[in-house]
Amino acid sequence: MKNKKPLWITLIALDVSITIALLVISIVMLSQTVGKTAAEIRAATGFIGYLQNHTTFYFLLFVLPLFLLLAANIIFLVIYVRKSTKAEPVQMNELTEEQKAELRKQILADLQKQQMAANQSTQPVENPTDKE
């Protein structure tokens, strides 16, 4: 699969459409339930009435998938953000002359520090008792 873009667009469109459909049905069902007595809810007819009378079915078919889609979308968002914010190494041909000169200065300073540290570690340490 060279070009995955159409697949991702299709999956995103499917995710959005399913989420919207589940949310709309849930909002309609809940708005029809608020303010009704138990007898009125039992007497409700149609698809929304069925959902009001069979709350387990409603939970398994609408609420649980919404939570699963939300969790999946959050996970994919975190993965996408981590992937897109990875620092890529800079190539030398991408640097300006000023940046190259500054980099040379930093490298030379680091090399001098390393040489000084190496010279100090190889010099013998004088013992103050040897001078007497």
**Domain co-membership, 23 together with 57:** yes
Question: Residue 26 sits in which domain range?
Answer: 5-84
Least confident range of 7-21, 64-78, 87-101:
87-101
**Domain co-membership, 96 together with 62:** no
The count of domains in the chain is 2
pLDDT of residue 18: 94
**Domain co-membership, 77 together with 101:** no
How far is Cα 90 from Cα 27, in angstroms, rounded to an integer?
A: 51
Closest CA to 66 of 22, 21, 10: 22
**Domain co-membership, 64 together with 96:** no
Measured at the CA of 111, the angle between CA 105 and CA 113, to 5 degrees, comes to: 105
- pTM confidence score: 0.59
pLDDT score of 48 more than 60? yes
